A and B are shown apart, each in its own frame.
Chain A
């Protein structure tokens, strides 16, 4: 049958190409010989608005329509009439077995979101497709060709992957509160997702004129770490200009790109191992503020998807870093006052307007013997006397009326009956509208200072008392010295000598901090008038400690005995002598004053001051039995006193 065979008309550009094609050189042979199934299928293909192609015969020779023409990229239009294996060497490992399966079984095949790493625009690109292979059967029922319908879904897949990535990233970022950790985590997610050698993020330091790369994720240790500051423009002016203008900068192959290859910056690319790279700026207020980049060590095409993904991740990193930094600043601003509050040695507490404690620091708890929590809810009145509470209430009224800070001292009742003196400085706490809502108070324990002040006052009172007492003694010495009808010069000399004796007693006690004196010191002071009499005077006895007041009285009494001995007694004669001895017998102290070799002794008609002093002073202060004898070799005085038990009482 010589039926006239014509190829289908129409079909746009591809229709024309197919009709003009020399098919005789292909396994299909001239169109006149084509089976009906091929011609019918071709008509269907060329008239379809959907991307469609036919793989015909065992070689899977390719025919396609205008819709399908962009699919093979630069391979169009040379792909027409070529075997599929030759057209698709890049994706043959994937589609070859799928086509073979359809040929062998006669069953159709359909797939969606199929990843096909396809070389387009000279670069290997990740692309995703929805497509189907439908078998075309010949008259004998065998599969003679395959109809392929399909379209690229890379954008959809990328969008979905990007959304999933960003969603997961957002969730994980929110769990972190450290800006660096957030950055590292985001990059570590992005890097493997892109299958890149390196991804990094940096922020502009305008003052330093640098891009500070905060972190960079690297596929492995062999990839150079670029973290740290880099001078702006270090990777070329073209790159810097693009970023400053708010545009991305993409290099598919540094060996080919005229902005890199053969220029000085190529060395930098080489040193950093950058064969392909994409940098996307982050704009803040219209200005270049940060950048995110992806590098690869092989040529690689970058698409809008990559730019969009990097832009979104960078924006998310920027926001989360800002959040983390703000949170950290807030936390520190909260922590610092909190630490001051917690660690202050001063007592800090807050109270409401009813003076009920609403907060207290550890120092307050320590002072009041309770945990800070246990103080909350208790009235200030619990810790101070009612009249003190009335005072703090008055202070509060004053603050409510006049504002300001009040400063006052209160006596606080601490546990175990301790009384503390607190100096409190308190201010009203106000709400946002300025209404008083409570009190802030800082208190300092001034108990020690208070005690010191009291002690000081006591010492001053005591000093005053002693001075007055000494003045009274001086007055007594004066009235005793000038009494009677003694010649004035004699009275004056006696008075002066007595004053000197009193002064030496005080010197003695001052040396001993008024804690007492020893008997030998007192005897030495009291017999001071004997100075220059050498061996005519002897004193001897063991160390005995005397109370301050006793020391003064005994010294004054010995002074009277000494002056009497000089003027009327043994030492008034050339051969006279005085021996002073003391010793202890059990719990008694015995002191013996023995004059000898002087004029004959007679009892005086009237007991003068000296004698009275001896008998009185010693009787009173030593609780002594005093025996004065005017007989024998000379005047003798025997003092028999209980051994003084030393104590620290301050004499009057």
Chain B
């Protein structure tokens, strides 16, 4: 398993407390740092604006709202992220081509691999390998 390197700061956006707590535990178990955990769009927007994280995982549906405005902001800021969702084909994320979708329920291995790929992009960018 190629997870994110220890100390990677992760923003978790998830409105279901039980799932959020589990995600936090999984992220911490990987040796990463939960830089923030948001349960609503409003909270997520505040945390996203503040920054201080390397990668993010966004639940698409936030109790009737969607996290798409946050996704747009992150894309603008060049912060890699994945979507997490229980949606099958119906996820309204056509606009975000190239963004990985981690389907719920996700296990530790799947999440670690996805977050590992995000972290690699961060390293590539910071190392100046010219992928943007």
**A residues lining the B interface (CB < 8 Å):** 457-458, 461, 464-469, 471-477, 479-480, 483, 549, 553, 556, 609, 612-613, 616-617, 619-621, 649-652
Contact = CB atoms under 8 A, between A and B. Distances in A.
Nearest to A615: B17
B74 interface: no
Contact of B19 (A464, A465, A476): A476
Given A616-B20, A617-B17, A621-B39, 20 more contacts: A461-B88, A465-B90, A468-B88, A469-B19, A472-B22, A472-B86, A472-B105, A476-B16, A476-B18, A476-B19, A476-B22, A479-B25, A480-B22, A549-B63, A619-B39, A620-B40, A621-B17, A621-B63, A652-B63, A652-B64
Given A479-B25, A480-B22, A649 B16 contact: no
A464 B86 contact: yes
Contacts of A464: 86-88, 90
Contact of A472 (B16, B25, B61, B64): B16
B89 A479 contact: no
A465 B17 contact: no
B6 interface: no
Interface string B6-29: 000000000111111110011000
A619 B106 CA distance: 25
A651 B88 contact: no
A612 B21 contact: yes
B91 to A, nearest CB: 9
Contacts of B89: 461
Interface string B59-71: 1011110000000
Interface residues of B, number: 28
A221 B90 CA distance: 87
Contacts of B86: 464-469, 471-472, 652
Contact of B18 (A465, A467, A473, A651): A473
B25 A471 contact: no
B105 A471 contact: yes
Nearest to B17: A617
A183 B121 CA distance: 101
27 contacts: A461-B88, A464-B86, A465-B61, A465-B87, A468-B87, A468-B103, A468-B104, A472-B16, A473-B19, A475-B19, A475-B22, A476-B18, A476-B19, A476-B21, A479-B22, A549-B63, A556-B17, A613-B18, A619-B39, A620-B17, A620-B20, A621-B17, A651-B63, A651-B64, A652-B15, A652-B64, A652-B86
B110 to A, nearest CB: 12
User: Which of B16, B19, B62, B104 has the most chain A CB within a 10 Å cutoff?
Assistant: B16
A203 B21 CA distance: 99
Given A465-B61, A483-B25, A553 B17 contact: yes
Contacts of B16: 469, 472-473, 476, 549, 652
A616 B86 CA distance: 21
A466 B88 CA distance: 11
Interface in B75-95: 85-90
A457 B89 CA distance: 10
A468 B88 CA distance: 9
B21 A620 contact: no
Nearest to B18: A476
Given A468-B104, A479-B22, A620-B40, A613 B17 contact: yes
A472 B17 contact: no
B65 to A, nearest CB: 9
A479 B86 CA distance: 19
Most interface-central of A612, A649, A652 (chain B CB within 10 A)? A652
Nearest to A548: B63
Shortest Cβ-Cβ A-B pairs, 3 listed: A468-B86, A461-B90, A620-B39
Contacts of A472: 16, 19, 22, 86, 104-106
A467 B40 CA distance: 21
B89 to A, nearest CB: 7
A613 B21 CA distance: 8
B60 to A, nearest CB: 9
Contacts of B19: 469, 472-473, 475-476
Contacts of B90: 457-458, 461, 464-465
Contacts of B20: 616, 620
Contacts of A471: 86, 104-105
Q: Residue among B26, B62, B85, B103 with the most chain A CB within 10 A? A: B85
